[in-house]
Amino acid sequence: MGKSKNRVVKPKRRDKPPRQKDVEEEKEEEEVEDSEDADDESTSEPGSDEDATSSEEEEYDFPFRLAMYDFNQCDPKRCSGRKLLRADLITEVKLGQRFPGLVLSPTGKYTLAPRDRPFVEQHGLCVVDCSWKEVERTPLHKVKAPEHRLLPYLVAANSVNYGKPCHLTCAEAMAAGLYILGFREAAHRLMKPFTWGEHFIELNKELLELYAACNTPEEVIKAQNEYLERIDKEREEHSRDIDLPPSSSEEEETEEEAEFLFVLVLVIHLVDSLINSVFFCSLNSKISDFKRFSAIEYIFLPSFVQFASYWLFRSLKMPEIEEEMDFETTTEEGFGYELNDILYQGAEAKVTKCVWLGREAVIKERFSKGYRHPTLDTRLNKARTKQEIRGMWKARQLGVLVPTVYFIDAEKNQLILEYIKGPTAKYWISQLSSDEYDEKMREFGAVLGANLAKLHLGGLVHGDLTTSNMILKNGELSRLTFIDFGLSSQGKVTPEEKGVDLYVLERAVVSTHENSKALLEGLMEGYKKVNEKQFTAVEKKLEEIRLRGRKREMIG
C-alpha cells in the first residue's frame, strides 16, 4: 500500500471573474509580459540555486500522515491546529472516527519513545486540539486509536502559555513527537508557519535530543527526571551563591521596622476602640451610667490592656523566654506562630492551640469536604470565614465579649484568634453541684439572655447557639464569651430570625442538660430586661416556632 503524504502547497489565488478587455489594454499587457520574460532570461539561468530553493519551500513531502482531532474549544484565529489545517500540512479526523495510527493524548498510559517510530511510519501521527482550561470536561473518549501516548516534560513557547511546562499547543506537541521519533527536518518544516515555531525547538533542544537518544518509555522518563533534578540542583546552588546573610545593621533596621509597625497597629486599635466606646455611649442619651461603664469596659479596656502589656513586655525584654524559643524549627512560613495540640475538631473546622508573637492563641481552620463540589466547597468556606469575622466585630461593637482576631489568611481559611482561658458553658454546667444547680443555672441564663438581647437589638443573629459555643473567661460568669459566628447573619433582622435563634438555643439546652427549666427561665428574664418591646415581639414569634416544631415532631 502506498503511504499517504502531506504536502506544503501554496493556496491558489482566487481572482475575480475576468472582465471584457479593450484591444489597447491587451496590447499593453502583452508588451509588459514580453519585457518581464526578457528580464527573467537575462537574470536567471535554468537549474540555478534560487529555483531549487523556491521549489523546495513550496513543496515538502512528510514521511507519513499527520492528523488532528478538533474539539472546537480554541479561538479559531489563534488556534495552531487550524493554522496547520489551512496550510494543508495536516488533515482533520472527525470526532468518534477511528485513526489507524498513534495519538498524542492526555489519556495515554505510556510516554512517547523512539521505539514507536516503525508504527508511526506505517500508520501516522495524530494530536488532540482542545483547550487546557476545558481538558477535564472534554469527552476524550471520542478520540479512538490503537495507540495513545503522553509527551514527556517540555516547555511551551507559544504566546498564550509561554514558559509553562507541558502546556503545549497541538502544533508544538506534533513537532515534539516528530523530533523525538527522529524526524527532525519534518519537525522544523511543521513549525515554519509560526513566528515562535523555531524558538520552541531551540528552547527545548537539549530535552528533545535527550529523549530522541532513548529507546523505551522508561528510558525517556529516567532522562526527564535526571534533567529536572540537575536543574533543581543548579537553581539551589545559584540561590546559595547570591543569597548573602544580612548584616547586623540590616537586622537591626528590620527589627525596628517590625516594632514600629506593631506599635502603630496597637495605637490604631486603641483609638478605634475608644471611638467605638464613645459612639456606643452616645447612641442613646437615656443610657445609664452603669451601661456606659460596661461599654468602656468591654470595648476600650481590652485594647488598653494589650497596649500596656506590650510596653511592659518591651521594658522587661524577657531574655529567658526569647532564648528558650527556637523559631527556626517551630515557626511556620507566612505567620509567626508555634503550633501546639489540637483543642477541638468539629464537622466544619479544627481548632489548634498555638503561640503567636509570644502570646497564647488558637488557629481556627476550615477544611474542605470531599463529598462537596470543589467550587461550592471553596465558596462556602470563604463565606463562613467572612461571616465569622464580621459577626465577631459586630458583637464587640455591641459590647458582647468575643475573642480578638489577630490574623486572617483568606487563602487557607485560617483565623488566628485570642486564646480564651476558661471552661465552656457546657462543661461548667456539668460540674455544678446539686445544691447550687438551680440558682447557678438561673444566674447563667440571665447573663446569657442579656448578651443575646444585645446581639439581637444590634441586628446580629448568632445562628449556632449552644453551650459549647460559649466560654466563661477565667471561670467568671460575668465574662461570658461567645465563639463560632460562622453561621451568623446581620442587618435588618426580623423577629422571626431572632425567635429561631432562641429556639435553636432552647432545643440545644434541653437536649444537652438535665433540669434546664431554671436556665430557660433566667434566659427569658435577662432577655426581657434589656428591651421589653423587642422581648414582646420575639416571644410571640418564639411561641409560633415552638408550635411548628411540636407539629413536626408529632407528624414525623
> Binding site residues for S-adenosyl-L-methionine, as ranges?
80, 128, 151
Radius of gyration of the chain (CA): 38
Are 89 and 190 in contact by the 8 Å Cβ rule? The answer is: yes
Cell of 4: 499517504
Single-letter amino acid, residue 21: K
Annotated binding residues, written as ranges, equal: 80, 128, 151
Q: Give the SS3 label for residue 444.
A: helix
Which parts of 283-413 fold into alpha helices (H)?
Answer: 289-295, 301-316, 319-324, 327-330, 374-397
Q: Give the list of residues 6+ apart from residue 317 with CB closer than 8 angstroms, or none.
A: none
Would you tell me the crossing angle of helices 532-555 and 495-512 to the nearest 10 degrees? 60
- CA-based max dimension of the chain: 127
Distance in angstroms (rounded) separating the CA atoms of residues 205 and 179: 9
The secondary structure element, H or E, covering residue 490 is strand 489-490
Are 146 and 100 in contact by the 8 Å Cβ rule? The answer is: yes
**Residue 401 DSSP code:** B
Cell of 265: 497597629
Quote the distance between the C-alpha of residue 515 and its chain's center.
Answer: 48
152: exposed, middle or buried (Cβ count in 10 Å: 0-12, 13-18, 19+): buried
Residue with the three cell numbers 545593621: 249
Distance in angstroms (rounded) separating the CA atoms of residues 251 and 257: 10
Q: What are φ and ψ of residue 81, in 5° steps? A: -65, -45
Distance in angstroms (rounded) separating the CA atoms of residues 261 and 391: 27
Cell of 413: 481559611
Q: Give the SS3 label for residue 411.
A: coil
Q: What are φ and ψ of residue 432, in 5° steps? A: -70, 140
Q: Give the SS3 label for residue 261.
A: helix
Tell which residue, 460, 342, 442, 339, has the closest CA to residue 402.
Answer: 460
Are 267 and 307 in contact by the 8 Å Cβ rule? The answer is: yes
Are 383 and 410 in contact by the 8 Å Cβ rule? The answer is: no
Parallel, antiparallel, or unpaired: how do β-strands 359-366 and 349-356 relate?
Answer: antiparallel
Beta bridge partners of 356: 337, 359
Q: Give the list of residues 6+ apart from residue 135 with CB closer than 8 angstroms, or none.
A: 106
